[in-house]
């Protein structure tokens, strides 16, 4: 198999079989330089498809120059008759202005019920595979596991939160508008923080005279890469 991959757009433009037959279409009039995206091949449409969001049609990833990952995760053991390349798209200040986002996600709270404080504490069930952040979040997740993973892609590290006696978990980030309205919070500091804390909200603990209650929260940080087995959320959450 023969392949062509352009750093412009991180786009595959050619895929030929053993007989040299081209299996992908690329227009004879395609442009291979900014500002137009390459017409054909396998484009990466991110962070939106067509005009479903506020950005340019199909997002900006296919109009940016990607780079080759010089420290890629290990390749699969069986790579015969296969080709691999690890590309990275690093956001610019311009990208952050038009699409403010976070490269952090929270694992371990999938399918759980939560109280949404942005909707008067109404109860919902989490539908996402992982919690990511593109707007203000203020939720209380109920009956959570004793271990929660916070994945920081940009700095290639994972925070592991372990807890006992605290069944719930608060997840909060004010995002841009709320941050600007807070006197004791920097306008752009929402991009550098995330609140994930153990809590007991749904069923308050009541102690009788002489009774005791213990609660514990432990946080550890480990270097890792999201693409590596080190940062496999399932491995992390199931690890003893």
pLDDT (tens digit per residue) in 152-194: 987 889 999 999 999 999 999 999 899 999 999 999 899 889 9
78 within domain boundaries: yes
Query: Which pLDDT belongs to residue 81?
Result: 66
Q: Which of these, 157, 163, 237, 226, lies nearest to 196 by C-alpha position?
A: 163
**Which residues make up each annotated binding site for substrate?**
39, 57, 62
Query: At which of 79, 99, 119 does a domain end?
Result: 99
Question: Taken in order 15, 70, 231, 156, is the CA torsion positive or negative?
Answer: negative
209 within domain boundaries: no
Question: Do residue 37 and residue 150 come from a single domain?
Answer: no
Query: At which of 45, 80, 99 does a domain end?
Result: 99
Question: Do residue 182 and residue 140 come from a single domain?
Answer: yes
Pick the more confident residue, 19 or 83.
19
Question: Do residue 148 and residue 73 come from a single domain?
Answer: no
Q: What is the mean pLDDT of residues 210-234?
A: 72
**Which residues make up each annotated binding site?**
39, 57, 62
Query: At which of 84, 99, 114 does a domain end?
Result: 99
Q: How far from the centroid of its chain's Cα atoms is residue 163's Cα?
A: 23
Q: Which domain holds residue 1?
A: 1-99
Least confidently predicted of 13-22, 53-62, 230-239? 230-239
Q: Which of these, 202, 2, 194, 191, lies nearest to 105 by C-alpha position?
A: 194
Question: Do residue 13 and residue 38 come from a single domain?
Answer: yes
> CB under 8 Å to 211, separation ≥6 — which residues?
none
**What are the beta bridge partners of residue 19?**
none
- Per cent of the chain over pLDDT 70 is 87
In terms of phi and psi (left: phi > 0; alpha: psi -120 to 50; beta: otherwise), the region of 175 is: left
pLDDT class for 35, splitting at 50, 70, 90?
confident
**Mean predicted lDDT score pLDDT of the chain:** 85
Cis peptide before 35 (omega within 30 of 0): yes
């Amino acid at each position: 198999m023969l392949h062509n991959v352009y750093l412009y757009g991180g786009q595959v433009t050619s895929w030929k079989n053993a007989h040299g037959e081209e299996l992908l279409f690329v227009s004879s009039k395609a442009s291979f330089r900014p500002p137009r995206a390459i017409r054909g091949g396998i484009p990466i449409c991110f962070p939106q498809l067509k005009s479903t969001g506020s950005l340019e049609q199909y997002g900006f990833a296919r109009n940016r120059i990607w780079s080759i990952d010089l420290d890629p995760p290990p390749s699969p053991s069986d790579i015969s008759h296969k080709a691999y390349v690890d590309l990275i798209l690093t956001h610019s200040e311009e990208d952050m202005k038009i699409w403010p986002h976070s490269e952090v996600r929270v694992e371990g709270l999938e399918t759980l019920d939560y109280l949404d404080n942005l909707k008067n504490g109404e109860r919902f069930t989490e539908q996402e595979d992982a919690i990511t952040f593109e707007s203000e979040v203020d939720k209380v997740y109920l009956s959570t596991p004793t271990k929660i993973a916070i994945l920081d892609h940009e700095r290639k590290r994972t925070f592991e939160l372990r807890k006992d006696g605290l069944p719930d978990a608060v997840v909060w980030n004010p995002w841009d508008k709320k941050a600007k309205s807070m006197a004791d919070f920097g306008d752009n500091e929402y991009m550098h923080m995330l609140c994930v804390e153990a809590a007991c909200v749904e069923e308050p603990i009541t102690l009788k005279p002489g009774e005791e209650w213990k609660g514990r929260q432990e946080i550890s940080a480990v270097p890792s890469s999201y693409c590596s087995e080190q940062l496999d959320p399932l491995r992390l959450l199931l690890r003893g």
